[in-house]
Structure 1
Amino acid sequence: MILRELGIFVLAFAAFASAVAAYLAAFHGEAPLKEILSTAFAAVIGLYIGRYVERRLING
């Protein structure tokens, strides 16, 4: 269970980081590492909050 959650965290972080990096490079011409990592981290936190809320609503 913990390994599954760790895998989800790593894959989600990598996906968000690559998407943010691609966006910044395409539209702003540069991709600072600090912005990429902070935005990806915030997105993953939002993902986990959404999963928590979904589980709470399903289980009542």
Structure 2
Amino acid sequence: MILRELFIFLAAFAAFASAVAAYLAVFHGEAPLKEIFSTAAAAVIGLYVGRYFERRRLAHGG
């Protein structure tokens, strides 16, 4: 169970980071690591908040 969560976390972070890096490189011509990592971290936090609310809703018969 913990390995699955770790895999989801790493895969999501890598996916968001690569998408942000590609966007910044294409549309802004540069991709600072600080921007990439902070945006990817915020996206992963949002992902986990969404998963929490979904699980909570399903547990209460929503």
What is the alpha-carbon distance in structure 2 between the residues aligned to residue 9 and residue 59 of structure 1?
A: 22
Alignment correspondent of 1:36: 36
Q: Does 1:50 align with 2:37?
A: no
Query: Structure 2-normalised TM-score?
Result: 0.96
Q: CA deviation at 1:9?
A: 0.1
Matched-pair identity in %: 80
Supply the distance in 1 between the matched residues of 2:2 and 2:59 (Cα, whole angstroms): 21
Unaligned runs of 5+ in 2: none
Question: In structure 1, what residue type is equivalent to 2:30?
Answer: E
Deviation digits for residues 14-38 of structure 1 (CA, Å, limit 9, x no counterpart): 0000000000000000000000000
- What SS is found at the alignment partner of 2:30? coil
Tell me which residue corresponds to 2:11: 11
Query: Runs (4+) of structure 1 moved beyond 6 Å?
Result: none
Matched AA of 2:47: L
Q: Tell me how many residue pairs correspond in the alignment.
A: 60
